[in-house]
Amino acid sequence: MIKPEEALKIILDEVRLQPVEKVNLMDSLGYVLAEDVVSDMNIPPFDNSAMDGFAIIASDTVGASKESPCKLKVLGDLKAGDVSDFQVTSGSALKIMTGAPVPQGADSVVKKEDTSLNNEEVLIYCEAKKGDNVRLTGEDVTEGEKVFPCGLDIRPQEIGLLASLGKSELKIFKPPTIAIISTGDELVEINEPLAPGKIRNSNTYSLTAQVISCGAKPVPLEVARDNMDATRKLIEKGLNISDILLTTGGVSMGDYDVVKDVLTGLGAELKFWKVAQKPGMPLAFWRLGDKLIFGLPGNPVSTVVCFEEYVRPAILKMMGKNHIFRPEVDAIFEHDLKKKPGRAFFVRVNVRRKNGEFYVSLTGPQGSGILKSMSLANGIAVIPAETTLVKTGDKVKVHLINLPEDH
Amino acid sequence: MIKPEEALKIILDEVRLQPVEKVNLMDSLGYVLAEDVVSDMNIPPFDNSAMDGFAIIASDTVGASKESPCKLKVLGDLKAGDVSDFQVTSGSALKIMTGAPVPQGADSVVKKEDTSLNNEEVLIYCEAKKGDNVRLTGEDVTEGEKVFPCGLDIRPQEIGLLASLGKSELKIFKPPTIAIISTGDELVEINEPLAPGKIRNSNTYSLTAQVISCGAKPVPLEVARDNMDATRKLIEKGLNISDILLTTGGVSMGDYDVVKDVLTGLGAELKFWKVAQKPGMPLAFWRLGDKLIFGLPGNPVSTVVCFEEYVRPAILKMMGKNHIFRPEVDAIFEHDLKKKPGRAFFVRVNVRRKNGEFYVSLTGPQGSGILKSMSLANGIAVIPAETTLVKTGDKVKVHLINLPEDH
């Protein structure tokens, strides 16, 4: 048995960055930029008005006030999207809409609310300063600037700026495909009646949902029955179509745990089997060519927790994400918890935040089959292997699955 | 001009919960449960083995040890998915695989590692306690139990438990459809060349991405040109297909800002126009029948920020989410910032966490057109209207867009 941190290191050392893929801008949301984005233009591309009002020469308005407005001749009218040949000279103004190019000669814009228009003359009720309400060429982005580096997470606000730059297509690290095979003669599909001795196949569903939540592409396959032939066929199919293969069950000590034998037969290199942890002790991990294979234990909670702690970081690293781990916080434990030494405990907890401190309470019984306490959890507390007692008030490390809401 | 908190209250008071929709289990991920889920079964449905080993009667093993094992007759072999007629009596054992039903008579399971099998006899090397390694009927969920209440967020771990319960279909609050119309003669599509006076339409893209990030369904429409007819046609189209219509631009003081006039002509009820905030002062909000309409200002940052602060909570409330706001934290400001009184400032910031405290720094120039400082931001600091000076070390409220990673 190896330690959880050793298992994680072995896994992450095996992970290779995904190949680069060119996608449409909108399809890049949530993925990682696989190129430096250098602007071939200024944003804004021209000096333009930040307001609806009048483009003027600021020095014309010295001393202007509500009582003693300055009067300027209006040369015309310019809306956004149009260009003009107007030349603003001392004593004149051009009516201008937000976003329209500032005309030649003008150095500032007075907003409509500070003016009144009478036929072809405008009264200006305040002093303008040079540059007032003018958005300068390149004030957001300058031509030649590296706007975004390779490796950046693409969020909605990045999408907006990439659109401004005209990046209708861009390169991302291709989201990996994850094949999912649950194993076991006891499994029936979720819409089938339960015969005696049978349970429903829930792991394929929770894993598919976890893969989706990572931004990767799940391919849930059929259930592999507990015989070598059926299991080998499905595993070969899964390996053919995926970057990572996940199996659940069949990696324990049982006579019908055939996953290990099948993978050995296929020539997969076992990187580790068994991790000193609870739940999820029988976790196994192989490489076969450029494919990674996780043998997840079949208990529903072991599956979910091992995905969280081992598979998710691997997938995010493949996708080029900078932050591949859940945020870890120190939290105050609100129970007494005894355990045997030797294995780390991943404990399902509810995390709250109060006065800047995090507090955690158990969400219920912690058996590997008890998914309800996983459903109630927004965090996983990590109790080290050597610890035998955690007391109320002790600090523990917690991996936050969701951000605690009540603070 | 109304205050931001008044604007938000008006919006949220107008929001109605979405209708209920029945979907396949996997399509419910990320949405909100619109029914109570009551279990019609026990989970597990039968007492079963948590280990590969031997089902026995615990009292048979009193005094057993490595040196002095207890010897039991093996009745047979039971794998997961099968049922048996075996009756375990004193002196006998049944070989059993993880997940297989515990046979009649047995009250515990000894794991394989603590035994050795010799033909038809097994040696047991430890004392078993009644209930050891047995997962009891209903220990996760009992028949008739309300497992999940209406209103619950459906995450991967909920998907797993719902699958175990056989909920192949379930009711969610239907994700709303959000139509998006950018307005302005100055806009060209992102893959078109830029003529003089033109800029690219970025708002449709950032808004589409923001809608996707909320879990709602975006319908980006064409750009509305600055005339009543074209704008009216597009707005009517948008209203026909959506629950919420978002427009950007055309709500300011300009002569060509036709969105307000079109909506008035269509009979929409203006709930407010202009909010005492920067960016996003010209924000407008209407109701027309059961549709809500947001007139977002056209500046790229105003659009993103107004979506974050007003549209996102409205969409999440429609979807039945319990937590509709970004987490708000008190953070230490790392600059001096002067402002005029009268308008609240939404300031784009980078939030870090260090020793349990949050710190924020500006991400750059804060002009409404400067999307780059939005791209660099993981939070929005809210500086109240009456504040005129924030000093280094002062605490400010921050809405966290992303969880800060470096703590």
Q: Give the integer Cα–Cα distance in Å for B193 and A102.
A: 21
Contacts of A194 in chain B (CB under 8 A): 41, 45, 166
Q: Give the integer Cα–Cα distance in Å for B30 and B159.
A: 10
Q: Give the integer Cα–Cα distance in Å for B75 and B312.
A: 63
Give the residue from B315, B139, B209, B49 showing the smallest Cα distance to A184: B49
Give the residue from B342, B207, B209 showing the smallest Cα distance to B281: B342
Cβ of A113 within 8 Å of Cβ of B253? The answer is yes
Contacts of A197 in chain B (CB under 8 A): 46, 80-83, 100-101
Q: Give the integer Cα–Cα distance in Å for A180 and A203.
A: 9
Which CATH number is A328-400 given? 2.40.340.10
Cβ of B197 within 8 Å of Cβ of A165? The answer is no
Of A23, A116, A140, which to mutate for an interface test with B (greatest number of B Cβ within 10 Å)?
A: A140
Cβ of A164 within 8 Å of Cβ of B200? The answer is yes
Buried b (16+ CB within 10 A) or exposed e, B122-144: bbbbbbbeeebbbbebbbbbeee
Binned at pLDDT 50, 70 and 90, residue B252 comes out as: confident
Tokens of B214: 């909320």
Domain with CATH 3.90.105.10 in chain B: 22-43+140-173
pLDDT value at position A405? 60
Domain with CATH 2.170.190.11 in chain B: 48-135
Shortest distance between the Cα of B35 and any Cα of chain A, in A, equals 17
Which chain B residue's Cα is nearest to A159?
Answer: B206
B251 vs B133, higher pLDDT: B133
Cβ of A164 within 8 Å of Cβ of B371? The answer is yes
Neighbours of B387 (CB within 10 A): 16
Cβ of B97 within 8 Å of Cβ of A256? The answer is yes
Cβ of A226 within 8 Å of Cβ of B79? The answer is yes
Pick A202's closest partner by Cβ from B163, B327, B405: B163
Cβ of A163 within 8 Å of Cβ of B201? The answer is yes
Of B140, B203, B210, which to mutate for an interface test with A (greatest number of A Cβ within 10 Å)?
A: B140
pLDDT value at position B407? 40
Question: Number of CB pairs < 8 Å for A and B?
Answer: 308
Cβ of A213 within 8 Å of Cβ of B160? The answer is no
Q: Give the integer Cα–Cα distance in Å for B220 and A360.
A: 43
pLDDT reading at B406 higher than 60: no
Cβ of B79 within 8 Å of Cβ of A256? The answer is yes
B407 vs B379, higher pLDDT: B379
pLDDT reading at B363 higher than 90: yes
* Cβ atoms A334, A360 nearer than 8 A: yes
Shortest distance between the Cα of A212 and any Cα of chain B, in A, equals 9
Cβ of A25 within 8 Å of Cβ of B161? The answer is no
User: Which of the 8 DSSP states describes residue A105?
Assistant: T
The CA dihedral of A93, A97, A100, A104, to the nearest 10 degrees, is 0
Contacts of B163 in chain A (CB under 8 A): 190, 200-202, 204-206
pLDDT value at position B357? 87
Which chain B residue's Cα is nearest to A53?
Answer: B254
Domain with CATH 2.40.340.10 in chain B: 328-400
Cβ of A191 within 8 Å of Cβ of B199? The answer is no
Q: What is the pLDDT along chain A (407 residues), one digit of tens a residue?
A: 999 999 999 999 999 999 999 999 999 999 999 999 999 999 999 999 999 999 999 999 999 999 999 999 999 999 999 998 899 999 999 999 999 999 999 999 999 999 999 989 999 999 999 999 999 999 999 999 999 999 999 999 999 999 999 999 999 999 999 999 999 999 999 999 999 999 999 999 999 999 999 999 999 999 999 889 999 999 999 999 999 999 998 777 666 678 999 999 999 999 999 999 999 999 999 999 999 999 999 999 999 999 999 999 999 999 999 999 998 999 999 999 999 999 999 999 999 988 878 999 999 888 877 889 999 899 999 999 999 999 999 999 999 998 776 44
The pairing of beta strand A177-182 with beta strand A244-248: parallel
What does each C-alpha distance from A80 to A101, A113, B187, B204, B226 come to in angstroms? 7, 19, 9, 18, 9
pLDDT by residue (tens digit) across B62-100? 999 999 999 999 999 998 999 989 999 999 999 999 999
Pick A25's closest partner by Cβ from B190, B329, B368: B190
Average pLDDT in chain B: 94
Which CATH number is B22-43+140-173 given? 3.90.105.10
Of B169, B371, B374, B400, which to mutate for an interface test with A (greatest number of A Cβ within 10 Å)?
A: B371
CATH number among 3.40.50.1580, 3.40.50.720, 3.40.50.1000, 3.90.105.10, domain A22-42+142-173: 3.90.105.10
Which chain A residue's Cα is nearest to B166?
Answer: A190
pLDDT value at position A407? 40
Rounded to 5°, the CA angle A246-A220-A205 comes to 90
Of A74, A154, A205, A400, which to mutate for an interface test with B (greatest number of B Cβ within 10 Å)?
A: A205
Please check whether the domain covering B48-135 is classified as CATH 2.170.190.11. Answer: yes
* Cβ atoms B180, B282 nearer than 8 A: no
| Mean local confidence (pLDDT), B292-305 | 95
Tokens 């999307």, residue located:
B371
pLDDT value at position A256? 66
Contacts of A367 in chain B (CB under 8 A): 50, 135, 139-140
By 3-state DSSP, what share of chain B in percent is helix, strand and coil, each rounded to 5?
20, 35, 45
Domain with CATH 3.40.980.10 in chain B: 4-18+175-318
What does each C-alpha distance from B196 to A46, A48, A79, B344 come to in angstroms? 8, 12, 13, 35
The pairing of beta strand B199-200 with beta strand B187-188: parallel
Cβ of A254 within 8 Å of Cβ of B79? The answer is yes
Shortest distance between the Cα of B77 and any Cα of chain A, in A, equals 10
Cβ of B135 within 8 Å of Cβ of A300? The answer is no
Q: Report ipTM (2 d.p.).
A: 0.94
Contacts of A41 in chain B (CB under 8 A): 194
Contacts of A357 in chain B (CB under 8 A): 356
Cβ of A199 within 8 Å of Cβ of B44? The answer is yes
pLDDT reading at B215 higher than 70: yes
Cβ of B156 within 8 Å of Cβ of A111? The answer is no
Contacts of A86 in chain B (CB under 8 A): none
Which residues, including other chains, have CB under 8 Å from residue A68's CB and lie 6 or more apart?
none
Pick A81's closest partner by Cβ from B158, B163, B197: B197
Shortest distance between the Cα of A289 and any Cα of chain B, in A, equals 30
Beta bridge partners of A244: A178, A292
Pick B256's closest partner by Cβ from A97, A156, A187: A97
Which CATH number is A4-18+175-318 given? 3.40.980.10
Cβ of B185 within 8 Å of Cβ of A81? The answer is yes
Which chain B residue's Cα is nearest to A111?
Answer: B253
Tokens of B323: 């937590």
Contacts of B81 in chain A (CB under 8 A): 184-187, 197-198, 226
Beta bridge partners of B275: B2
Residue B69: alpha-carbon gap to chain centroid: 54
